[in-house]
A = this chain, B = another copy of it.
């Protein structure tokens, strides 16, 4: 697993929208400034997230993006997998890998599988509501109260 900038940006964006759940939609521009993400890049990311059903949008003057589900119903794992692909540390765990003629008997495959499972165990349990709670100490850019 490797978290790319795109993945990192996606997570931060969703967390922000989670904090503004049930409020007015947030404009790309606001998100871009607040989170320090290049606007045009963020546009693309948000479109992807929309197609995946994580967020919804509204066009026009008071348009913007908002979370499509409750923060408690989105896990870190879902988003990471969607943006950055499978969790396993090596392709052979997930799909065909040209370096392995003999995937079945490979001792390493077993290890990478364990690694994948142990990562999943963490990121599939954490929801954006959990993350929101952890952030809500001094930080008050959020409107949404859990």
Which A residues are closer than 8 A to B by beta carbons?
Answer: 1-3, 5, 7-9, 11-12, 15, 36, 76, 89-90, 92, 99, 101, 105, 107-108, 110-112, 114-115, 118-119, 121-123, 126, 131, 134-135, 139
Contact = CB atoms under 8 A, between A and B. Distances in A.
B1 A108 contact: no
Given A1-B1, A1-B89, A2-B2, A12 B122 contact: no
A62 B115 CA distance: 39
Contacts of A131: 107-108
Nearest to A36: B101
| Copies assembled | 2
10 contacts: A1-B1, A1-B2, A1-B89, A2-B90, A3-B112, A11-B108, A36-B99, A76-B111, A105-B135, A110-B134
Nearest to A133: B107
Nearest to A130: B107
A115 B122 contact: yes
